[in-house]
Structure 1
Amino acid sequence: MKFMGYVRPDGKVGSRNNVAVIPSVICANDVAQAIVGQVQGTVGFFHHQGCCQLPPDLDRVTDTLIGLGCSPNVSAVLIVSLGCEGTDHERMLQTIAKTGKPVEIIRIQELGGASRAIQAGIDAAQKLVLKVSPMQRELVDISNVTMAIKCGASDTTSGMASNCVIGYLADKMVDLGCTVVFGETTEFLGAEDILAKRAVSSEVRDKIYEIVNKMESRAKSLGCDMRKGQPTPGNIAGGLSSIEEKSLGAIVKSGTRPIQGVMEYSDIVTTQKGLWIKDTPGREPEILTGMACTGAQIMVFSTGRGAPQGFPSMPVLKICGNPNTFERMSNDMDMNAGLIIKGEKTIEQVGEEAFNKVVEVLNGGMTKNEAIKYFNSIDIYTMGPVI
């Protein structure tokens, strides 16, 4: 199976050809936003981290921003640095440059402030766009694909329809030699035993239990039970009675293939193939950032109540399990898995349609959130306090 993708100097293949404007710290966001607003062909990653954090979190933020810059969907990178941030912008520059893609950096303080930095950034971003815009797609094997999967704004139809479709799709992609990554550790709770049985080794099994226990212990350290935040009010209104019920529906989207390992939040896919877990929270801005950092060229997203958002550099294909939601939010939902609920189609039929849609998006077809630019809310999952 083949698709048409952008082959990068490091051999990775992208489904998009974006120039990424990456602020290294929240203090540089406004300058980065002004650059992206002026230069066509750019996308920005406007996060809220990068300073006054503990060293492990600063390392994580740096690593995540590097991963976003190294993504195969990114053709070139402009780093926007304040100049005194806690993240390591020099390491960002050097590591992303090793991929062979063009990388530039501007430093707001050295340039004399925001207005001068904006002008310098516009000039630098324009040059990068003009340099990479002539790139052409090439025919490549689909085994080059890393597909991320997620569910959000779930209701009872998610576990009955749209998650089942994604599970079918995940199995098919793994069988074609692709990498499939799923996360939402908070939504393993109560179903972790089922996932552990699919681990390829005792080490992977133990790691699954470890990340679930760590996530629950983090909530308990604040004097709370995880169940006070999961299921969410929207999940409960949609008919989900408990975190265990939500988890049983959520893990369906991972399919049935063996779990090869567990990745940390800022890990990048290198040679991994098959089905992998990434240790992430469930909230959209943080998990989408983590999955894009992984190197995923596409995310397939299951929803029942309707989650419209996407991600700047990674197309997010929405599969809706609720036929009523699909009708109400047809401009946001890409596929109607609610036809399974209505008895009009089978999981396998919608699964094959979803596979064809994935290939279409990999070839350049837009998702609905891309078409309306609903993709600017991103953030990075950190563990410690702001200090």
Structure 2
Amino acid sequence: MEKEFLGYARPDGSAGIRNHVLVLPVQRQMNIVAKKISETVPGTRTLIYPGELGRPRNDRLVIYRTLTGLGLNPNTASVLVIGSRRQAGYDELKPDLIIGTISASGKRVEVLMLAEEDGFYNALGRGIKIARDMVREASRTLRTPFGLEHLMLGVKCGMSDSTSAICGNPTVGKVFDALIGAGGRAVFSETTEVIGAEHILAKRARNAKVAGKLLEAVKRTEEKAKLTGEDIRKTNPIPENIAGGLTTLEEKSLGAIVKAGTAPVEDVIQYAEQITKPGLYFMDAWMSSLSLPTGYAASGAHLFLYQMGGQGVPGREFPAPAVSSGVVIPIMYLTGNSKTYERACDTIDFSSGSVLDDLETLDEAADRLLNEILTVASGARTKAETIRFDDPIELYLQGPSL
């Protein structure tokens, strides 16, 4: 029997696993309006706009891809764009351009421009009224069955320890292989954490061009690190990794890439770049849990998998490093360490530590994880989704600020 999830059909043929109305500020001074609307109207999501002034063009394009990508994400039912004036700002970030890009998907897009309203308070009241109507409309969309070819997953590992490479990451890798084998999409990243293993990934590239892009991304990242006057191999692995049993960056990287499974790497993409074709992709970006979920969401991912080690984290328990940085996509915490699961049972949704405990095989753990992912995709909440907190978003902006 083919595996399925219950999702929300979108006009462009995609399927969402959540049904959010996105309140999208497209100028920094509109953050307060967007935030207050979202606080007032359940069923909405928003983010704090990072500000584009003084940013070089490459960073402005990152902001554009992020804003439009969040609006295009299948988990977004409709979008309320909040701005000051339609033609304000840099060419890459004019509200009308962002509105047009999202509207082309066929989704409902409403626009609230402060210059067209009778003052701030009237704009806020009208925005709340519009958002309420959009949420009610979105709630009338019912879930229907979809196959794995409609699903896209993103993954990050964190606080890695010796269990990460033995069972935590391999379990995710097998899920990725199953998803891609069924026609789905998957993305992994953290360029700093493939250093020392890039030659292995390059052999898996779809062609020589993709292999070259991967090797160049790693080289560029290491050279940037050297400009700080430090050797990245002396700052990574981090202290928690070392306490968890890892000794070198190369050792950490060899374990980290296992979470990407065995499928060919179809392409190396930029932060927040859209992924529309099936297969496995590498996003050239940094490792921050306040940045990567947003980038994955903008690229089209439905769900963010956070594979934890945790052995080297001090204390009896530890809270989630991030709960809402995916903006419109949920974060699902995993671990391959049974002790970590016991300490962080309020945070972690799934443990493959049972493999190390000789209670099941890797294949069995992977099948169990895939079933749990499909349960979440069909509407079950992750533990991170039961916490109301807005993470500060850190877009992958490389500067310099001018």
Q: TM-score range by the shorter chain?
A: over 0.9
The correspondence of residues 50-61 of structure 1 with structure 2, limited to 5 A, is: 50-61=52-63
Tell me which residue corresponds to 1:294. Answer: 299
Deviation at 1:101, TM superposition (A): 0.7
Matches within 5 A, 1:209-248: 209-248=215-254
Shift of the 47–345 alpha-carbon distance from structure 1 to 2, 3 Å rule, reads farther
Match of residue 193, structure 1, among 190, 199, 208: 199
Alignment partners' CA distance in 1, 2:121 and 2:183 = 48
Q: Does the aligned pair in 2 maintain the 1:333–1:368 contact within 8 Å?
A: yes
Unaligned runs of 5+ in 1: none
Aligned: 1:95 with 2:101 = yes
What SS does the corresponding residue of 2:290 show, helix, strand or coil?
helix
Residue 347 of structure 1, CA deviation: 1.6
1:46 aligned to which of 37, 48, 56? 48
Secondary structure at the residue paired with 1:257?
A: coil
Contact 2:332–2:349 (8 Å) recurs in 1: yes
2:322 counterpart of 1:309: yes
Q: Is the 8 A contact 2:294 2:327 kept in 1?
A: no
What SS does structure 1 have at the residue aligned with 2:153? strand
CA 1:375/1:233 → structure 2, altered by over 3 Å: closer, same or farther? farther
Describe the shift of the 1:193–1:97 C-alpha distance in structure 2 as closer, same or farther (beyond 3 A): same
Specify the code of the residue in structure 2 equivalent to 1:384. Answer: G
2:385 is aligned with 1:385: no
Q: Please say if residues 272 and 297 of structure 2, whose CA atoms lie closer than 8 Å, have aligned partners that are also in contact.
A: no
Q: Give 2:157's match in structure 1, choosing from 151, 162, 168.
A: 151
Matched, 1:369 2:371: no
The equivalent position to 2:14 in structure 1, one of 12, 15, 30, is 12
Say if 2:73 and 2:299, in contact at 8 Å, map to a contact too.
yes
**Structure 2 CA distance for aligned equivalents of residues 346 and 113 of structure 1:** 62
1:142 Cα deviation from its structure 2 partner: 1.7
1:215 to partner: Cα distance: 1.3
CA distance in 1, matches of 2:395, 2:193: 19
Q: Which residues in structure 2 correspond to 1:1-387 (within 5 Å)?
A: 1=2, 2-83=4-85, 84-86=88-90, 87-108=93-114, 110-111=116-117, 114-270=120-276, 272-305=277-310, 307-310=320-323, 311-374=326-389, 376-387=391-402
| Partner SS state of residue 45, structure 2 | strand
1:309 maps to a residue whose letter is A
SS at match of 2:291: helix
CA contact (8 A) 1:25 1:47 kept: yes
1:150: how far off?
1.4
Q: TM-score, normalised by structure 2?
A: 0.91
Q: Deviations over 1:65-93 (max 9, x none)?
A: 10010000000011222445443222111
What is the distance in 2 between the residues matched to 1:114 and 1:14? 33
Where 1:180 maps in the other structure, the secondary structure is strand
Seen in structure 2, the aligned counterparts of structure 1 residues 190 and 14 have a Cα distance that, compared at 3 Å, is same
Contact kept, 8 Å, 1:47 with 1:380, in 2: the verdict is no
Against the structure 1 CA distance between its residues 208 and 17, is the aligned structure 2 distance closer, same or farther, given a 3 Å change threshold? same
| 1:278-327 residue CA offsets vs partner (Å, 9 max, x unmatched) | 11111112111110011111122200126442323112221112212211
Paired-residue identity, %: 35
How much is the aligned-residue C-alpha RMSD, in angstroms? 1.8
Aligned-pair CA distance for 1:228: 4.6
Match of 1:162, as an amino acid?
G
Normalising by structure 1, what TM-score?
A: 0.94
Q: CA deviation at 1:365?
A: 1.2
Residues of 1 paired with 2:49 and 2:341: CA distance? 30
- After TM superposition, give the deviation of residue 152 of structure 1 in Å: 1.6
Q: In the alignment, is the contact (CA less than 8 A) between 1:155 and 1:239 conserved in 2?
A: yes
Aligned-residue offset at 1:341: 2.6
Gapped regions of structure 2 (runs ≥ 5):
311-317
